[in-house]
Structure 1
Amino acid sequence: MHRLSTNAKPLPQDVTISESLRSPSRDQAVSPISLPEQLLLDSTSSGSPSIDSALNSSSGQLSYDIPSEIGLLSWEQIDANFVNFQPNLAHDFLGDLGPQEETRPHEGVAPEVLLDNDDTDSTPQFVGTTGEFEPCLFGHYLRDVSGRLPFKKLTLQSVHLGRLPAHFMLTSQSLYSQSREEAGLATKIEANKSREELELLVPVDIGERLIRLYERFIAPQYPIFSTQSRPSPKSSPTYLLAAIYAIALPFMQFDDVLTLDLAYDPLPTSTLLQISLKALEFEIYGPTLPVVQAFILLLARPTPHHLISDSSFRCKLLGTLISAAHTLGLHMDPVEWSIPRWQATQRRRISFIIFKIDTWMASSLGRPPLLNEENWLVTSMSAEDGYGACIDEADWRDFIQHAQLVSTLRRVLSELHSLRALSQLSSNIQQTLGISMQILEELSIWHNTTTISSSDEAPASVINLLAYHYTHINVCRALLRCHATDAQSNQSSTDADMQRARHEAGKCLSNALLFVNKLKLDASSQFWPAWAPLAFSSIVNIMLHLLVMSSSSEEAKQRMQTVRDTRESLRIRSKQLPVLRLGLLRIDSVFWKGLDQIFVLQPHIYEALSPEFMGLRKDM
């Protein structure tokens, strides 16, 4: 049998323990086994206890005899107060690494701690319930008044001891040096060079102006910062600043100084993105909140030319973002944690924004969401979450309204477009209609109760309207899907159900096209999220879908006229609104190739085709 070996020190003779040594939740005295294992000496001398002898005691319980020469107290001597004893016990147990502040009971409300502290060189890793570290065990650890138990390069930090205990391991960044070296990543010294490169490229005064542009145009849709943690060109991490500068750069014409300074010497966006991405490769080993914020901005940023979605690369970024978010405990709700209110609300906003990004990317790219609501607690926003959000009241109201649409779109993805839903609903139009009508009623209530309108000039209001129409389109896609699969499988369905589905899709398309035609050209001065071009393209695609599904020659001609009108409208508007160019490209490709060369058409539709729909390639 192995013996437990330590370098134990004798406890001071004048230390005693009072009744406070008893457990606060149990009215029974602490037994000798509560003493640290250091009291077991690894010595083969006579009288030295061993694990063997302890386990083989006549009582059948773990016990041992403590030799008097090591200077330990008898139980009769332990009658002083435990407050004086506990720090000494911690010192023997942890040496100089034990709690340095006054210890506190395991129960009660902990004082507020700055969990996301940019001044520390550590990453807070959330302790999950099934990991190797047992969260409930933390309640029995010796902790200082801040809820911490420090070791050499690791500190255990508790922020909540309630029904959902929340603990973090504050891990020194130096622990990841070997992993970074094996991956061939830059050293910290080389990483510091990127800071010099960024400051040479974007001086502090220019950086401050770009940050203000970010706060004006992007922050209302992505309020990831707080008034207490506003980004600064002097103190914020390099990768975060580069991401902010890159996403704010398209709005430099709204700053009088930047318009002149950068008119003939514009900042290279590609260089800014490279600085951020390279630095993030280094930082992801020990992610912090600024790392998460930088990834959010990289995902929120639209593609440069609006014609390519960069889906694979964006999915890679999203996966990395979610991994970092799980590390930092952003899948939890921090409302009850012992952290400042501004940190709790900031964490909730960031958590929801990650959920929002995952939802819009899943919908716009046609892929399953990476997150599920069973394991992601913050999926909605409330008025209280606007505390310290650095945006005005009107913008926060629009953000709340957008959050409601995200919840509805999430329901659409789950109940109408998930793989399990597809297997059950793809050929059952009655069931699909039942679910769709409930969701459409929810959408109608949202639209009728919001104060926004298509003529509202508030940028976020326009984005919300686009989100509304796009969510409506995704409901109608499920209805039209049933129409196609029902016809192919020869399953019975009533004409009334089919007509109802087509009518709903036609009404949805009419409203969406009306929204597009009412867009003001000055909408180019607002921030369009990355999913916006794909949403406009979806409007075009459902328009083409209804065209090829026309039930009569007369309907086909009407649908063709709608396609012509929309094409002309997009040609004019896309010059000022690049976000519309992908939709225009989809229509132009039909005219270039020819409708009859792309789709299998029913005879009455083929007969209604005009020469322009037969394709330009035939004349070449």
Structure 2
Amino acid sequence: MAVAIQPSPMPRPSDVPVPIAAARPQQAKVQRRISGKENLLGGKAASFGITSVRPRRERPCDACRRRKSRCVIHEGALLCVLCEFHKQDCTFVQDPQPRKRKVVEVEKKDDSSKKRCVIWSPLVQQKNSVMHVDVINASIRSVDPTTIPQQLQKPLQKPLHKLPTRPSIPRDQRLIAQIESNVLGETLGLQRSKHSRYIGLTSPFDPVLVGLSQFDSRHESNLDVGTLRRVNDHETFIMYPDENAQDYGTDVEFNAEIDRLVSPHGPALIDIYFRIVHPSFPIIQKHVFLERYRTSGQNVSPPLLAGMYILALNWWSHDPHLSKHPRPDVNQLDAIASRTLAAAMQRPKLSTVQAGLLLLQRPDADSWSLTTQLVAIGQELGLHLDSASWSIPLWERGLRKRIAWALYMQDKWSSLIHGRPSHIFSANWAVTHITDEDITEEASLNPNFGTESEEERAENEKGQMLFAQMISLTGIMAEVMDTFYTQVAIQQFANAGKNSTRIILERAKPVQIKLKDWFAKLPAPVRMDNVTPKQLSSTGFLHLAYFATEITLHRRIIQSLSAESSDAYLLYICRSAAKTRLISAMDFVNRLRPEHLQAFWYFPSKINFTLISTFGGLLQATAPAREEADFYRMRLREYRWTLSVSSERAEFLDYAVQMLDTSRSMLKNLADKPSLAQTQVNSAGVPNPAVIRPLQSIQQGREQETIDLEMTEAPLQSLTRTTSTSAFSGFSTEPMDQYSESGHRDRTPNTPPSSVG
């Protein structure tokens, strides 16, 4: 057996022999992540059973070791000079390179110590992609080997999806507590036995009085009512023990029930979740979660775990391994998730908001009340604040930012699809714009960062772009809602009377320009034509959201028009622009591929599909002539065919079909419209010259700028070349021409020809 001389933590007299111990396999080491603050505290490591932790000044930090630079730490500083300059954590996580030492015996090392567990992708599209996960993700700097069960020192040698939900091996609770404490102990929103609540400026805890408290090295101060935790000079939280909350202590029981429902397929479902949902909806710190799941899964939040399983079950039948087995009961999982989420709200943590957001992504989820509850919980956790300067782990800052923006999008899109007021206001939203650093998983938290394939990294980067672009688009959509659909705006338009349309157009123009600029700057990886065959792509929900935003804007304009009170030319311009966008949206849906339909769709998507048909019904109902109304009737029939065929791959589209049928039943009550010959509109849909004011008067001053709105850029002469049944095809020169033009050139078999009556 190979043995090596172990370095002594303290100097020894020359006459004292140096003990010789057997070398441990590298795989059995359990490392500890140590922050700069922990290194300043002598004896703190000992409280966790940690030995041989050298003082900070005797070793360089990880960054300086990688740079091979001198690690200089000024007196009283928490960060070294280089780490402070680069604004990064000064960590002491990595071990130094082992030095060659003399050994008493030389034996062949056990190669099994280098083996790792491999999770094989369950999806056909990604069968060549693997994700490596260590049995124990190194998180503790030094642990007494006698405290580690022998079973934990042996590597797992089977694919994870063939194992039970978690390894059925005895666990040392003290080791689990050490892992939990060192991974989450420094966090604010994910502590194991405590939860935090934000203290506002007008609460009984006045900032001046809080500043008089005595805070320890962890920035905590114990009071009779709880523990104060200062994260910077301005923000303070109060922390309460979880044991005082209702239903405390039942998580283990519910996790066992969840395991029973999905066993032995839990790991395979977790793999599906991180491959399909997580890239474009990264609200979980992947490798921190996997560490907890593998080492202390009973301490994972039950509603979060159930929510991940529920979403992953949407792809159960697409997995060749899982599809051979009976599908777990989603209703039972749903019931457990709802019950445990209600209990978790009594002791809110970041995992509570994560679980709620995931449950709201279910295809059949439509809970306005849950959204409002999550917004309130997010404010309790301080998610509406900028945490960039808080004394919390760096990875938690990025996680909080991602969860905050996911909550923001949930609130804003729920406001749109329900037609109700938003609960998040810009005046009280301090979260800064998201950056790549906020989304990218840290290499220090990902033990397999260097082993990920180029395909995996490219897919993750694409998902991160998708998430960031959806946040940006949501901001523009929120501006549309605030500008046109608040009660104040509605009253202003009503008071304007005949001038309401012109006021709406004036306010719409800058928003429309923002939408066009947003689309023009879309990165290439998230454009619709960037699809790899047989590889799922979630870009569909982003582009659908773009159409929903434009439709919401034009819908307000059309609602303000009146054949009796509106100028004929103004009526024509606005309706032409609206028709252009409707056709582009319908052709976009027609061109969705299986790679899009079977991917993850963001929660408002089923309503956004419905908004397209609703907008078509609105244009049909307000059409001035029978021929134009017939045109929309035919397009809606084609659109229904597309949705019904596509629903075979995306079941949630059944809702859009049902709502389209409901709209069509309402349109049966529509009164007969006069023909073009009986109206003041010619066969091309253009108002007759006799009813148009001289063009010169329209173009005077700002009035023409308001009418143009840059919403339809096609010249008037090109409009007159169309016919009554296809008068509104191909008008657009907007960015979305790629859908309308190619749609006619490469129509998929999902949609019948326009002649179908």
CA distance in 1, matches of 2:419, 2:308: 28
Which residue does 1:456 correspond to in 2?
530
- Name the SS for the 2:238 alignment partner: strand
Distance in 2, matches of 1:468 and 1:558, equals 24
Are residues 124 and 601 of structure 1, via their aligned partners in 2, closer, same or farther at CA, if it must alter by over 3 Å? farther
Counterparts of residues 58-97 of structure 1 (less than 5 Å): none
* Structure 1: distance between partners of 2:303 and 2:77: 39
Partners of 2:384 and 2:430 within 8 A in 1: yes
CA shift, 1:594, in A, is 7.0
Q: Does 1:239 align with 2:313?
A: no
The higher radius of gyration belongs to 1
Letter paired with 1:174: E
Structure-to-structure mapping, 1:204-603, within 5 angstroms? 206-231=265-290, 232-233=292-293, 234=297, 235-260=299-324, 263=325, 265-303=326-364, 310=366, 314-378=367-431, 380-388=433-441, 392-426=460-494, 427=497, 428-450=500-522, 451=524, 452-457=526-531, 459-484=537-562, 491=565, 493-589=566-662, 593=665, 595-597=667-669, 599-603=670-674
Is the Cα contact below 8 Å between 1:352 and 1:379 reproduced in 2?
no
Distance 1:543 1:413 in 2: 20
Once the 2 structures are TM-superposed, how far is the Cα of residue 536 of structure 1 from its aligned partner? 0.6
SS at 2:278's partner residue? Answer: coil
2:232 is aligned with 1:154: no
Q: 1:567, 1:242 → 2: CA distance? A: 34
Cα distance in 2 between the residues matched to 1:401 and 1:273: 30
After superposition, give the CA deviation of every residue in 1:480-524 in whole Å (9 maximum; x if it has no partner).
Answer: 11114xx5xx65x43232222111111110110110110113433
CA contact (8 A) 2:415 2:422 kept: yes
| SS of alignment partner, residue 500 of structure 1 | helix
Give the superposition deviation at 1:115.
2.7
The unaligned stretches of length 5 or more in structure 2 are 1-75, 80-88, 91-184, 447-458, 680-757
Residue by residue over 1:157-194, the C-alpha shift from the partner in whole angstroms, topping out at 9 and shown as x without a partner, is 11101xxx111111112333xxx3xxxxxx44555322
Q: In structure 2, what is the Cα distance between the partners aligned to 1:225 and 1:197? A: 23
Q: Which moved more, 1:472-481 or 1:525-534?
A: 525-534
Higher helix fraction: Structure 1 or Structure 2?
1
Preserved contact between residue 416 and residue 422 of structure 1 (Cα < 8 Å)? yes
Q: Aligned-pair distance for 1:363?
A: 0.6
Normalising to structure 2: TM-score of the pair? 0.59
Q: Deviations over 1:539-563 (max 9, x none)?
A: 0011111112222233223223222
CA drift of 1:379 comes to: 6.6
The CA distance in 2 between the partners of 1:600 and 1:281, in whole Å, is: 50
Q: Which amino acid aligns with 1:166?
A: E
- State the alpha-carbon separation in 1 of the partners of residues 677 and 301 from structure 2: 60
Q: Is the 8 A contact 1:454 1:515 kept in 2?
A: no
Question: What does the per-residue CA deviation read over 1:409-451, in whole Å, with 9 as the maximum and x for residues that have no partner?
Answer: 0100101111111111354111111221221111111112212
Counterpart for residue 86 of structure 1: none
SS at match of 1:322: helix
Aligned to 1:169: 238
**Residues paired across the two proteins, number:** 472
Note if contact 2:402-2:438 (Cα within 8 Å) is conserved in structure 1.
yes
* CA deviation after TM superposition for structure 1 residue 296, in Å: 0.9
Contact 2:620–2:629, Cα closer than 8 Å, also in 1: yes
Letter in 2 for 1:373: S
User: What is the TM-score normalised by the length of structure 1?
Assistant: 0.71
The Cα of 1:258 is off from its aligned counterpart by 2.2
CA distance in 2, matches of 1:149, 1:269: 44
Q: Write the distance in 2 (CA, Å) between the matches of 1:190 and 1:556.
A: 60
Distance apart, 1:369 and its partner CA? 0.9
Amino acid across the alignment from 1:290: S
Amino acid at match of 1:559: Y
One-letter identity of the residue aligned with 2:610: S
State the AA in 2 paired with 1:246. I
User: Could you say if the C-alpha distance between residues 190 and 405 of structure 1 is closer, same or farther in structure 2, counting changes exceeding 3 Å?
Assistant: closer
For residues 516 and 676 of structure 2, the distance between their equivalents in structure 1, rounded to whole angstroms, comes to: 33
Q: Which moved more, 1:351-360 or 1:455-464?
A: 455-464
The CA distance in 1 between the partners of 2:440 and 2:590, in whole Å, is 37
Tell me the percent identity: 24
1:6-47 deviations in whole A, cap 9, x for unaligned?
xxxxxxxxxxxxxxxxxxxxxxxxxxxxxxxxxxxxxxxxxx
Q: Deviations over 1:436-473 (max 9, x none)?
A: 12211111111122124333336232111101111110
CA 1:595–1:288 in 2, change beyond 3 Å: closer, same or farther?
Answer: closer
- Structure 2 vs 1, CA of residues 478 and 272 (structure 1 numbering), >3 Å: closer, same or farther? same
> Is the partner of 1:124 in helix, strand or coil?
strand
State how far apart, in whole Å, the 2-side matches of 1:480 and 1:379 are: 35
Which has the higher mean CA deviation after the structures are superposed, 415-424 or 550-559? 550-559
Gaps of 5+ in 1: 1-106, 181-186, 304-308, 609-620
CA distance in structure 2 between the partners assigned to 1:545 and 1:269 by the alignment? 37
CA distance in 1 between partners of 2:520 and 2:201 (Å): 43
Structure 1's 385 and 549: CA in aligned 2 closer, same or farther, altered over 3 A?
A: same
Cα gap change, 1:227 to 1:574, in 2 (>3 Å): closer
**Counterpart in the other structure of 1:74:** none
The Cα shift of 1:210 comes to: 1.2
The separation in 1 between residues aligned to 2:200 and 2:636, in whole angstroms, is 53
Query: 1:49-198 counterparts in 2 under 5 A?
Result: 114-116=186-188, 118-151=190-223, 154-161=226-233, 165-176=234-245, 180=246, 187-198=247-258
The amino acid of 1:471's aligned partner reads T
Cα distance in 1 for partners of 2:663, 2:210 equals: 64
- Structure 1 stretch 453-462 or stretch 210-219: which is displaced more? 453-462
